[in-house]
């Protein structure tokens, strides 16, 4: 009998499948996720190319991936809020706005990190 909490290959495979299902759902239903994913498709390889050394590469790539992660969480929050509270509710609106703000803060991080790393090279 496996130890409690043991995650064998089947459980890992199922977790991977559920993650892919979530990515497909975000792509299918969330225009913001599609836009940010296309931005990441451009920025991640560009960051790997333009970054000098491992730390710069990591900083240039990490931002866009964090934006995608935050957008997934924001979309999940919005879906749950819409399911639980379909009518207008101030707290529901606040939760959705805060999720959106988290994505915005990470977009600012992307702009700052790219600017601080790359602009000094060009000016």
Q: Is there a binding annotation on residue 30?
A: yes
102 assigned binding-site residue: no
The yes-or-no answer on residue 71 being catalytic is yes
Query: From the candidates 4, 71, 87, 90, which is the catalytic residue?
Result: 71
Does 56 belong to an annotated binding site?
Answer: no
27 is in an annotated binding site: yes
Tell me how far CA of residue 118 lies from CA of 22, 47, 78, 114, in angstroms: 34, 10, 35, 6
Q: Is 24 annotated as a binding residue?
A: yes
| Residues flagged as binding site for ATP | 30, 78, 96-97
| Residues flagged as binding site for a divalent metal cation | 30, 78
| Residues flagged as binding site for substrate | 24-27, 71, 100
Q: Catalytic positions, please?
A: 71
């Amino acid at each position: 009998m496996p130890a409690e909490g043991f995650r064998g290959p089947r459980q890992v495979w199922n977790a991977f499948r559920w993650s892919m299902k979530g990515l497909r759902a975000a792509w299918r239903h969330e225009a913001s996720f599609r836009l940010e994913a296309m931005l990441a498709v451009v920025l991640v390889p560009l960051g790997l190319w333009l970054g000098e050394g491992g730390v710069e590469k990591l900083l240039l790539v990490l931002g866009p991936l964090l934006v995608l992660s935050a957008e997934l969480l924001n979309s999940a929050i919005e879906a749950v809020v819409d399911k639980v509270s379909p009518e207008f509710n101030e707290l529901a609106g606040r939760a959705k706005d805060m999720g959106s703000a988290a994505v915005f803060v990470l977009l600012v991080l992307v702009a700052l990190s790219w600017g601080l790393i790359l602009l000094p090279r060009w000016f």
